[in-house]
Amino acid sequence: MTEPSRGRERSARTRPLSIDVAAIARGTVSSRRPNLVTRPTGRAVREAIEARLVHMARSLSVALIDLTRVRILDFSCADEVVAKLLLRYLEPDRPGDTFFLFRTVGDLHGHAVEEVLGRHGLAAVCDFGDGRFRLLGPASPEERAAWSTLEHRERILPGDFESALGDRGETVLERLAARRLAHQAGDGSAASLSALARTMTNDNHGEAR
């Protein structure tokens, strides 16, 4: 069990993991196609994802949940695989200091993901397959603006908060970090999750299937 960090870094090393959800689904249910339907299927897939995340439980990490090879994603499965996974890692007793990025096909999954996030009041960072990350789910205009600026700049040092984000910049960034939509390091600097993920790529950890 890792003590809650509210997004603040305690380990200098990120431990990246890309998780191919379609591959997990194929190993979980006897379906001819990579369809994520029914709540029990979603629950089983989420538990399989959580089992893989246990291995990197004690350090800062980023997990890329890749749904691009999933064909059908229904709302029950999206609730389990996206919303409940995020909820678990927002809890004070979360299993690890893991941040999440999602990669989906906008036309196929974007709506389901956005709806389940909205239902729980959650937001997530999501790439619709075009390499551009978006903030999905409910967020205040202030949070969205700050997130966009951070996404564009990748990292912002504490001394630049006000010039980059206005006089409430630090507060808003702390809120984004608390929602685990941004990462705040021990020195107070903020990083977008996609920038953190690129660090992950540089660390050259393989894809988990």
Partner 1 sequence: MRVIEVPASLDYGTIEVLLARMDVDVSGPVLFDARRLRWIDPNGMLALLAAGKVVRDNGGVPRISLPAGSDVTGYLDRMGFARAGAEIFQPPSARSGRRRVRGSDVLLEITSITTNSDVHEVVDRVQSRAGAILSRTLRYPAAAVVQFSVILSEVCQNIIEHAEAPGWVAAQSYNWTKRLGRHVAVIAVSDLGRGFRASLAEEHSARFGDRWGDVTALEAAFLLGLTRFPDTGRGQGIQQIRKQVARWQGLLSVRSGTARIADAPSWSRTPPVEEGLRRFPGAQINIILPQRLND
- Give residues in contact with partner 1 (CB under 8 A): 29-33, 35, 37-41, 71-76, 79-80, 83-84, 107-108, 112, 115-116, 119-120
Residue with smaller CB distance to partner 1, 37 or 195: 37
Q: Residue 132 corresponds to which tokens in the numbers above?
A: 């551009």
Residue with smaller CB distance to partner 1, 46 or 94: 46
Supply the minimum distance, in Å, between the C-beta of residue 28 and partner 1.
11
DSSP state of 209: -
Supply the minimum distance, in Å, between the C-beta of residue 42 and partner 1.
10
DSSP assignment of 24-46 equals HHHHHS--SS--B-SHHHHHHHH
Q: Residue 155 corresponds to which tokens in the numbers above?
A: 């990292």
Q: For residues 86 and 130, what is the distance between their CA atoms, to the nearest angstrom? A: 23
Residue with smaller CB distance to partner 1, 40 or 159: 40
Residue with smaller CB distance to partner 1, 17 or 83: 83
Residue with smaller CB distance to partner 1, 63 or 116: 116
Supply the minimum distance, in Å, between the C-beta of residue 115 and partner 1.
6
| Cα distance from N-terminal residue to C-terminal residue, the chain | 24
Supply the minimum distance, in Å, between the C-beta of residue 192 and partner 1.
27
Strand, helix or coil at 114?
A: helix
What sign results for the dihedral spanned by CA atoms 83, 100, 12, 1? positive
Supply the minimum distance, in Å, between the C-beta of residue 138 and partner 1.
14
Residue corresponding to tokens 């630049």? 160
